Structure 1
Amino acid sequence: MTMNGTMALILAQDGLTTGIIYALLSLSILLVFLVTRILWVPAGEFVTFGALTMGVLQRHEVPATVWLLAALGGATLAREGVRAWRSGRRTNWWLMAASYAVLPAVVVGAAIVLAPMDLPIFAQVLLTLAITVPMAPMIYRSAFLDLAGSPVLVLLFVAVAVHYLLTGLGLVFFGPDGMRTPPFIPGRLDIGVTRISWHLLLVIGVALTLTGSLFAFFERTFWGKSMRAVALNRRGARLVGVKPETAGTIAFGIAGLIGCLSGILIAPVTGIYYDSGFLIGLRGFIGAVLGGLASFPAAIAGSIFLGLFESYASFFASAYKEAIVFSLLVPILIWRSVIERRRHALPDDAE
């Protein structure tokens, strides 16, 4: 099959759609790493949980992820209680109970009541977000918070363990069969010599809105500026009254929101399975590496390039698409290594 102009434009649209999703995911991975030094390996699992939970709701069934939310809420409440007892602090019990007991109970009750109904698409999206997003900060509080001062490698091992746990639970909750949801806005828009899908325009609109909101949050709000301070100097931020634990909780909450939204947006484009999260998350990680794990704009640009590259690679060599895409990581890491060595070279080495 030969490439022509029409085919190239169609592949460009598909690549741009997936590239924007990868860009959002790379933002969440980069945000969590900068604030907590945790490589957020389970980022892809929130994509799959968001997509598959949405698919189950569209079948008018109660998603099993509500029970995971309840279990995480109970585990986090118990862990916070032990942490408060050991530190001798007895305050904010009502806040902990509201966050980890009352809120999950309300969401579970709402899912049981609303899931069998013929809900509008916007209500399904909100219910999916309410079920999935709170899991991320709960995982941080229960699995990572006590290891905040540990080396990055230890945090990576814990993140990998959480990834495998969530993947196994995904198989239990959703089974081995994949799901693909219908597009939010079907059809295409005629523009000049090509037709652009309405879903692509929706993805672009959501991505721009989310990116603008994050920029305003980090530039204009107290906690946004506090998270930037924690990312630059964790100890210095603590000395001026910023709690890195709270900043990490917010970072995980934002990452959970981005991951769930990405899953909802990508589900109409490709079939999602319980184990799809690892490969999707790895693509987001490649985008973050392109940004040097430091630059949000570079991560966005790298992720969009990756989506376009993947789309055209699937046309020319679909059987080797995964190998071709992930082989990009090798020259990128070599290039970054050379740059870092030159940056930190001693004067004698520089000569």
Structure 2
Amino acid sequence: MDSTIVLILLQDGVVNGAIYGLLALALVLVFVVTRVIFIPQGEFVAFGALTLAFLVNGKVPGTVNLLLIVGILTFVVEFAVALRSHNWASVPKTLLWAVALPLALYFIAPFIVSPTTPLWVNVIFAMILVVPLGPMIYRLVYQPVAEASVLVLLIIAVAVHFAMTGLALVFFGPEGWRTPPFVTGDVHLGVVSWSAQTFFVLGTCAVLIVALWLFFGKTLYGRALRATAVNRRGARLVGISTNMSGSLTFTLAAAIGALSGMLIAPVTTIYYDTGFIIGLKGFVAAIVGGMVSYPLAAVGALFVGIIESFSSFWASAYKEVFVFTLIIPVLMWRSFSAHHVDEEE
């Protein structure tokens, strides 16, 4: 292995690590706010990539129908709760975002879908189709059991993963898809030629991380999420709605997952179940950060990406083994260095 091959592998590792870093960020965010180890995070990667691929190829994506069905179910649940409690304050809002929005997108989709539609329009429309699924899943599945134990929430997350994978097969089919790159061309740095798509992915990840940092540090909703992450009971006592925090968290997680899928779709063929493995690698990075530290999760993501890249060169059949084996020493180190903390604390 010469220096040129090393630099090429580092390029691939850094790009993959940036994507895993975004997914790790989403997993840590969901866990610290809602205590949910969100196994289905990878499904949003597949949903975002496949929705964009369908739009780019002039096909109406199955997300249009899926969003409408899930939205109607969400409204039915909200209406049933209001009927029992005689509190109708949330019903109009739910009707607007869970039924009216998906219905409007259902009728708009045929006018957007065209091979001549600009790529950036398809990206925006795909995000609008996928992102609302996040708060809908939270309202349907997690909000009723928000105070359950972490183990119960984990079991539910596994069930949601299988349900979303099955829905992806139904609405997208078993075929694999790719999308055109966002930018074309090469950038020559020394002896290695870096693709412009690589810099686009890294730049997008950096912008998104900065935007999230500003959101959590400078906005009222961001501070509310931080307060909920520190102490759920204390947040409720000062008037912060934990339901709002959970819904907003799942919205951000869906947006990060969908965008990550769109970024990797030009270089990786995406199938209905591809997101699970990608999400698990983000989970490995999140474990490095202890499911609470964003910087450590980012470092872990880069390490995972580089390990995957080099192991695919030396022993491609075992690259997944090398990546997932990283969990064992990390968990052992954390088990020896951490002290027991009760869940409520």
Q: TM-score range by the shorter chain?
A: over 0.9
Taking the aligned partners of 1:307 and 1:269, their CA distance within structure 2 comes to 15
Query: Is residue 57–residue 115 contact of structure 2 (8 Å, CA) maintained in 1?
Result: no
Residue deviations 1:184-214, cap 9 Å, x none?
1122101233221111111111111111111
User: 5+ unaligned residues in a row in structure 2: which ranges?
Assistant: none
TM-score, normalised to structure 2, is: 0.96
- Give the aligned CA root-mean-square deviation in angstroms: 1.2
Give the aligned partner of residue 31 of structure 2.
Answer: 33
Mapping of 1:307-346 within 5 angstroms?
307-341=305-339
Letter in 1 for 2:219: T
Secondary structure of residue in 2 paired with 1:302:
helix
Give the aligned partner of residue 187 of structure 1.
Answer: 185
Secondary structure of residue in 1 paired with 2:179:
coil
Mapping of 1:1-351 within 5 angstroms?
3-116=1-114, 118-341=116-339
Taking the aligned partners of 1:95 and 1:220, their CA distance within structure 2 comes to 26
Bigger Cα displacement from structure 2, 296-305 vs 92-101 = 92-101
Taking the aligned partners of 1:197 and 1:115, their CA distance within structure 2 comes to 29
Aligned pair count reads 341
Taking the aligned partners of 1:17 and 1:121, their CA distance within structure 2 comes to 21
Letter in 2 for 1:180: R
Q: How far does residue 305 in structure 1 lie from its aligned partner after superposition?
A: 1.0
Query: Is residue 30–residue 288 contact of structure 1 (8 Å, CA) maintained in 2?
Result: yes
Q: How far does residue 117 in structure 1 lie from its aligned partner after superposition?
A: 5.1
User: 5+ unaligned residues in a row in structure 1: which ranges?
Assistant: 345-351
Taking the aligned partners of 2:46 and 2:316, their CA distance within structure 1 comes to 23
Letter in 1 for 2:245: A
Taking the aligned partners of 2:225 and 2:64, their CA distance within structure 1 comes to 30
Secondary structure of residue in 2 paired with 1:32:
helix
Query: Is residue 288–residue 300 contact of structure 2 (8 Å, CA) maintained in 1?
Result: yes
Secondary structure of residue in 1 paired with 2:114:
coil
Letter in 1 for 2:191: V
Secondary structure of residue in 2 paired with 1:33:
helix
List 4+ stretches of structure 1 deviating above 3 A: none
Residue deviations 1:67-99, cap 9 Å, x none?
110011001111111122222212243211111
Secondary structure of residue in 2 paired with 1:189:
strand
Query: Is residue 62–residue 116 contact of structure 1 (8 Å, CA) maintained in 2?
Result: no
Taking the aligned partners of 1:66 and 1:250, their CA distance within structure 2 comes to 22
